[in-house]
Structure 1
Amino acid sequence: DPRSAFFSNISRVITGTLCMGAFGVSAMSVASCVGARYSLRRQVIDPSTGSSRPIISFSTQYIPVLSAITLSLVFDKFCAYARMLFISETNPVLRHCVAAIFKATVVKHAKEITLTLGDQCGAQGLFAVNQLSSLHANLRGASIAEGDLLAISIRFGMEILLGRVSIPPPKDPTSLLARHETALIEELRALVSNPLGHRSATIQSIVLPQLPLLVEAIGHRMAFEAATQSGIDGEVMAMFIASVIKSDASWYIENGCLSRAEQRKMEAQAAMALLPRLEELLAWLDCDDYVTAPMVSDEMWNSHIQTLKVYHGQRPVQECDLLERARL
């Protein structure tokens, strides 16, 4: 069989697909740590009190930070689960399918996290030395290497719909993420069963754009089950669910699962429950040794400043309180 022989010959590419997903987990973990540490350090003046407060105290800051941390923790368990499925499977097509689902799910979120946290860190997030922009650039490369995200999502999404490959079924079909996955498969499978065949123009225009969302939904469910089975904290799982349902928020509304207000409330409550435990969550990430961004602490920032070249002009600059407050 030439097709089977081809995939056997490129088996290391399949392994690389899994490895790119693992890199995504590492990248989002480091980015989460950088974003959280900077948000704890950065102070602004509260006009209502006249005193300073860390930007992590604002919901617009702690929600994306906590979302990034919980995704990192859950996807770390997903990584171990995907590896276990990968090494226990002998069929190269099924191994590639597992690797593709893992990579497509993780790398997509990793790219979003590094970009979002970079924006949340203001001008500091743009500097390559602070890691976030560099990690995002590397993840863009990882999304292409060893299987482009869109290409592998279309390929294996269609294979799943046509019944050519079988993924591990949901352990709890009644869970919110499992119901979402099942509904998407049924909806798209009904379209693929069109008498004109799965290569018809209708399928090309309607189904193909939905396949990345389908693969991601499968990945979310598998990640949820892997993390639950490993005993991850319930509050972390609540924040994970609140974060991933935003990928297809309209489905949950259309099917009467969660209204827009309920989705926002779920996320806000999950984040508020986790905020007092931020240092504990960062300890679970265990990424401080891999953080080189100078913006995460005064000591590292001052050391970084000493390495910069100083340019002098003829006009003296007068220090003032406003300049002190404006420093990054």
Structure 2
Amino acid sequence: MPATSPQLGLPRVGVVMARLIVDEEDRGIKPFVVWFNDGKEMNKGITSMVLLRRAGSKPLDHCITTFNHVRLQKSALLGDLQKPMDLRESFHSTIWRVSVGTLALATTLVPILKRSAFVAGKYSLRRHVNRPPNGSQPIVSFRTQHGPILHALAQVAVYEHYTDETVCNFVDMRLDIRVRQGIAAAFEAVLANDVQSSLFALSERCGAQGLFEYNNIIESQLEARGISIAEGDALVLCIRLASELILGRYSLPPAGNQQSLLARYEKCLFQYCCRLRARIDGDHRDDTFNTDVLPRCQALVEAIGYRMAYEAAQKAQVPPDLQNSFEARVVLQNSGWFTENIGLDMQAMLDMELRAMDSILPRLEQLLDSTDAEQYCTAPILSDQSWVRFISSLKTYRGNGSFNAQKGNSTLAAKI
């Protein structure tokens, strides 16, 4: 994945993780500073094979990079030659800043969702359909059209404050580093899944227009997928975090309100996973742990993230209807659990969503404008004027010929 090829005369340098062997003794994986190229030519022993463009990615030349007897200066080693007492712990200590990247990249999902909601919302307000006998009406008036947009705007409101809360906790040096890394992992896990789900729905609500990169949404979908993998695949982070929580190695900040729906959902999932663990004779690398616990790790970590996000929104006094929309969406996504454990039937869950949406809908345009996303949107479907400009810029073929197409005994005259 790293971009290592010579591009535009820009020299490239990177940190390479490699195993250090001294006098045939394995001293663990260490970081080395390595110059890949001088902007024109690769360094001796280094090969960079440029991959085809990744869908949705514009600026980076992703490469497969290999090394064959590359000689380095002694100063290239970051650290010392000594063998650490615990090789695994030393490696995790070396790469601790990966969690910084995890958090930093995940924060970009909020503006991505803002831009996509703005495009889908403005397009839905602009596009009309005929509806006799009252003439035309905007497609945004249909619940199936404005529903995903309203949910996305509620997510934006909640996740903005969740971002602020997460960053504050992550930089709090009083917290155990593992707790800080866990907070970042939960943040990425819940945003990566929830934002991608919304982006898919927003793209669909734009019909065929949602499939074109120039309309911003599917482009954002592809970027969001890349973010969910970069700096640690979200699923892998969930497995590690949930396993350590279940094993009792540390714990994340508890719920402020233990009786809220999302706090009860989190607590029940955690207790269920702990019961599964208690029935396993072996350790967490046992096959039974693999089959029974691992598939539930992502759901558990996402439940933690949902609860943290909801409490951050409450603390920041986000409008109650936006909070309720966020809560209703989580409940509906996990309806089976809430029916089985809380006694909510499907109609009660749908009524939660209905009340929230009915309250938010009159403020739709206001909420779209408050995202401040317009200056970052280039989608031609935003307005009639931008659509006309876009159409006039397209390469055009105009018909000026006449020809016949033969089919059986009939002749079809076509003039384009």
TM range (shorter): over 0.9
Tell whether the 8 Å contact from 2:204 to 2:210 is kept in structure 1 after alignment. Answer: yes
Contact 2:280–2:289, Cα closer than 8 Å, also in 1: no
Does residue 143 of structure 2 align to residue 59 of structure 1? yes
Aligned residues: 315
Q: Pick closer, same or farther for the CA change 1:257–1:280 going to 2, 3 Å.
A: farther
Q: Does 1:246 align with 2:357?
A: no
User: Could you tell me which residue of structure 2 aligns to residue 287 of structure 1?
Assistant: 373
Partner of 2:384: 298
Describe the shift of the 1:94–1:3 C-alpha distance in structure 2 as closer, same or farther (beyond 3 A). Answer: farther
1:264-305 CA-to-partner distances (Å, cap 9, x unmatched) read: 111122111110011222233222221111111112111212
SS of the equivalent of 2:97 reads helix
Contact (CA 8 Å) 1:31, 1:113: kept in 2 or not? Answer: no
Distance 1:199 1:7 in 2: 19
Q: Aligned with 2:231: secondary structure?
A: coil
Q: Deviations over 1:146-183 (max 9, x none)?
A: 01011001110111111112101000001110000000
Structure with max Cα Rg: 2
Task: Give 2:188's aligned residue.
Answer: 103
Gaps of 5+ in 2: 1-85, 403-416
Q: Give the whole-Å Cα distance in 1 for the aligned partners of 2:90 and 2:287.
A: 31
Q: Tell me which residue corresponds to 1:323.
A: none
Deviation at 1:315, TM superposition (A): 5.8
Work out the CA distance in 2 between the residues paired with 1:17 and 1:261: 38
Within the candidate set 67, 70, 76, 2:160 is matched to 76
Higher helix share: 1
CA distance in structure 2 between the aligned counterparts of 1:205 and 1:119, rounded to whole angstroms = 35
SS class of match (1:171): coil
For 1:153-192, list aligned pairs within 5 A.
153-192=238-277
Name the CA shift for 1:114/1:195 in 2 (closer, same or farther; >3 Å): closer
Distance in 2 of aligned mates of 1:268 and 1:49: 27
1:28–1:68: 8 Å Cα contact kept in structure 2?
yes
TM-score (structure 1 length as normaliser) = 0.92
Percent identical among aligned pairs is: 38
**Cα deviation 1:105-130 (Å, max 9, x = unaligned):** 00111111111111110011011000
Which piece of structure 1 moves more, 204-213 or 7-16?
7-16
Residue 137 of structure 1 aligns to a residue in which SS?
helix
Match of 1:319 in 2: none
Distance (whole Å) between structure 2 residues aligned to residue 286 and residue 206 of structure 1:
45
Structure 1 gaps, min length 5: 317-328
Q: 2:321 aligns with which of 216, 220, 235?
A: 235
Alpha-carbon distance in structure 2 between the residues aligned to 1:50 and 1:273: 25
* 8 A contact 1:55–1:61 mirrored in 2: yes
Distance (Å, rounded) in 2 between the aligned partners of 1:185 and 1:306: 57
Give how far 1:50 is off: 4.8
Q: Distance in 1 between matches of 2:260 and 2:243?
A: 24
Matched, 1:151 2:214: no
Aligned to 1:44, the other structure's residue is in SS state strand
Asked whether the 8 Å contact 1:154–1:211 carries over to 2, the reply is: yes
Select the structure with the greater relative contact order (CA < 8 A; seq sep ≥ 6).
1
- TM-score scaled by length of structure 2: 0.73
**Partners of 1:29 and 1:191 in 2: how far apart?**
39
* Structure 2 contact 280–288 (Cα < 8 Å) conserved: no
Aligned residue in 2 for 1:41: 126
Q: Is the 8 A contact 1:63 1:268 kept in 2?
A: no
Question: Please, what is the CA RMSD of the aligned residues?
Answer: 1.5
Q: SS of the counterpart of 1:53?
A: strand
Give me the whole-angstrom Cα distance separating, in 2, the residues matched to 1:67 and 1:251. 21
Kindly tell me: are residues 38 and 228 of structure 1, through their superposed partners in 2, closer, same or farther at Cα, counting changes over 3 Å?
A: same
CA contact (8 A) 1:69 1:281 kept: yes
Whole-Å separation in 1 of the counterparts to 2:113 and 2:266:
24
Residue 137 (str. 1) matches residue 222 (str. 2): yes
